Amino acid sequence: MLPPLPRLSDYDVSPQNGFLPDEIPLDILPDAYYQPWETVVRNFQSLILAKRLRRIVDALPILETDLLLTEAEWRRAYSILGFIAHGYIWGGDSPADIVPPPISIPFLKACQHLELPPVATYAGVCLWNWRPLFNSEPTDTLDNLATHMTFTGALDESWFYLVSVAIEARAGPIVPLMIEAIAAVRRHDTNTVVQALRSFAERLDELGALLERMYESCDPHVFYHRIRPYLAGSKNMADAGLPQGVMFDDGTGEQPYVQFSGGSNAQSSIIQFFDVVLGVEHRPTGEKRSDASHSDSGAVQSPPHGFIQDMRRYMPGPHRRFLEHMEQVANIREHVNSNRSNRALTTAYDACLAMLRSLRDKHIQLVSRYIIIKSRETRSHSRSLSPQQAKTQRVNLANTLARTGSKKLRGTGGTALIPFLKQARDETGEPAIDAWARRLLNNGPGEIGTPFGVEDGVVRMGKVKEGLDGEVEIVGLAGTWSVDDSEGGICHW
């Protein structure tokens, strides 16, 4: 017997907004009891600038969570406490490795309630940290969105979060659309599946256009040096000053040091939903597809990608379980494989893969511009400093890695991401059905710098070229990036 299709209401998923809440996130906790927290976040940037945040937080009362009555209130508390915790850790001249009880105790309780780790996750920073400018206008456009909280107060930081919020909102209707497509497969209604896949591909193209708007109002220098350090977690952060990670002091003296990845868009459930629905499977970074692991009949027999699976631990519990349910019912790739003679079906499916791969191409370009180029500039500047100047520089994630000479630049998610992103992009095209589409999507181009190549009678588009000034040029859909594989970046999409 086939497992039942998921009901969105069972998993806190909105038919309009997807993984964003239906209701607008709270901008203040309604009970005056929580005014001490609200006062801190209302003056957040000023406290960080004056280097008073830690002293103020140390003196806060330890508030109970009993007066948090609704899910919206729990989410607001989680977001507030996550921002304060990260500000406390990263907002001084050197990182703090112990978060005091006034934050740790309620934060751990909020985490337990929402099934999230004690870190500023994508949910706390993006999903539950927005408001529309006008309630009567749509929320899937950047023209009508604002943030509740930021670390820096910079417009660049708000824009960085809001691009993700707009993408989530624009992608929301895809969720019920593709569940209906799965139901259509069960009743052998291929025409409905084709129409759903066509709509899916068109919406993915719109998401790519939204992602490219990041460049409009988020300056790479501001992001790399001012915003990114506050998003860092405690995992793989020894070079940045957290060799053991962070301790959340609950007053018992028994809490161990923990290490968690920081806020990362890999924690977005919508992108993993896309992969699950289309049957895209990811292997551990560096593991190549073998002929035995891939066949025209369907599944790729390989272990799940460790980082991608690990990021599910940073999703709200209901969203994580929704993805697990979707994995049980996903059937579109199998249906397309079984109906290869239906050109409309195979073309629509391959178009979805092409648009999803294009989205990942655009993200690699974004990582290159915001992280790779900026990290090279930082290392070059660091080499020019005298030892005395280097000592007086403020410690943060950006210049610490530059001064230590570490080549393994890590994203806020705590992993080196260029190899991961390139492989995830390449794996997106692997399930392609049509032979020409498969060749096009599975690393079809010729050598780097060659505008066009011809092999076996198939014309192939050129790859990526990187100029001497660090600018990257994409030539064609299936480009391969010529950045140093040892360098990582933000984990955005």
Extract the annotated binding site. Answer: 363
Pairing, β 246-248 against β 145-147:
unpaired
| Angle (CA) 2 168 42, round 5° | 130
- Gap between the terminal Cα atoms of the chain: 36
d(CA 379, CA 110): 39
Assign 488 to helix, strand or coil.
coil
Q: Is 153 left (phi over 0), alpha (psi -120 to 50) or beta?
A: left
Estimate to the nearest angstrom the gap between the alpha carbon of 248 and the chain centroid.
Answer: 25
- Tokens read off for 391: 């000592």
What is the number of other CB atoms lying within 10 angstroms of the CB of residue 398?
A: 23
Using alpha carbons, select from 315, 356, 365 the residue that is nearest to residue 214: 365
Alpha helix (H) residue ranges in 224-286: 228-231, 269-278
Using alpha carbons, select from 330, 292, 289, 242 the residue that is nearest to residue 423: 289
Please state the residue numbers annotated as binding site for heme b: 363
- Tokens read off for 207: 């998401």
What is the number of other CB atoms lying within 10 angstroms of the CB of residue 469?
A: 6
CB 105, CB 250: distance < 8 Å:
yes
Q: What DSSP line would sit under 361-393, residue for residue?
A: HHHHHHHIIIIIHHHHHHHHHHHHS-HHHHHHS
d(CA 442, CA 480): 10
